[in-house]
Structure 1
Amino acid sequence: MENELRSFWRKFFDFNWKFGLFLILIICIPRFMIVLIANETANYSYVGFIMIISAIAPFLFLNKYGQKKIGITKPKSYSWLIWSFLIGLAFSFLLYLLGDLLYKSTFENWYVYIGKSYNIPTEIKANDKRIMFIIMAITGMIFSPIGEELFFRGIVHSSFAKSLGNVKASIIDSLAFSLIHISHFGLVFINNDWKLLTIPTFIWCLSMFLVSILFYFSRKKSGSILGSIICHSAFNLGMIYCIFYLLN
Structure 2
Amino acid sequence: MKNGLISILKAILVTILYLIGIELIGSWIHLAETLGFENYYEHYLLIQGTLQLISVLIFMFFIRKMTFKNLIKNTQLKWYVFGVILGISFVFIQSPLNWIYNLFFETEYHIAYRFDGLPKFKNINIIPVILMIPIGEELIFREYIQNNLQKTTNDVIAILFVSLMFASIHSPYMNLILESSNQNWHLFYVTFLGGLISGILYLKSKSIGPSILFHVFWNVMSCIV
TM-score if structure 2 supplies the norm length? Answer: 0.67
Is 1:204 equivalent to 2:187 in the alignment?
yes
Name the counterpart of 2:198.
Answer: 215
Identity %: 21
**Structure 2 CA distance for aligned equivalents of residues 142 and 36 of structure 1:** 22
Is 1:85 equivalent to 2:84 in the alignment?
yes
Render the CA deviation track for 1:66-119: whole Å, top value 9, x for unaligned: x97xx83111x21121111111111123437877997xxxxx96989xxxxxxx
Unaligned runs of 5+ in 1: 1-14, 103-107, 113-125, 243-248
Name the counterpart of 2:219.
Answer: 236
Is 1:177 equivalent to 2:166 in the alignment?
yes
User: Partner letter of residue 74 of structure 1?
Assistant: N
**Structure 2 CA distance for aligned equivalents of residues 139 and 111 of structure 1:** 23
**Structure 1 CA distance for aligned equivalents of residues 54 and 95 of structure 2:** 28
Change (3 A) 1:196 1:83: farther
| Pairwise CA distance, 1:202 | 2.5
**Structure 2 CA distance for aligned equivalents of residues 172 and 225 of structure 1:** 17
Unaligned runs of 5+ in 2: 1-5, 30-39, 103-107
Render the CA deviation track for 1:186-241: whole Å, top value 9, x for unaligned: 959xxxx995444xx22321111010010111222333110100000110110111
Change (3 A) 1:111 1:151: farther
**Structure 2 CA distance for aligned equivalents of residues 92 and 37 of structure 1:** 33
Equivalent residues, number? 195
Name the counterpart of 2:55.
Answer: 53
**Structure 2 CA distance for aligned equivalents of residues 159 and 49 of structure 1:** 25
Change (3 A) 1:220 1:204: same
- Is the Cα contact below 8 Å between 2:202 and 2:208 reproduced in 1? yes
Among residues 24, 31, 34, which one is paired with 2:15 in the alignment? 24
Output the aligned Cα RMSD: 4.1
- Is the Cα contact below 8 Å between 1:137 and 1:236 reproduced in 2? no
Deviates most, 171-180 or 27-36: 27-36
**Structure 1 CA distance for aligned equivalents of residues 8 and 98 of structure 2:** 35
Change (3 A) 1:33 1:95: farther
User: Partner letter of residue 81 of structure 1?
Assistant: Y
Render the CA deviation track for 1:32-53: whole Å, top value 9, x for unaligned: 5767998xx9644335422331
TM-score if structure 1 supplies the norm length? Answer: 0.62
Q: Secondary structure at the match of 2:185?
A: helix
Change (3 A) 1:20 1:111: same
Name the counterpart of 1:168.
Answer: 157
Q: Secondary structure at the match of 1:234?
A: helix
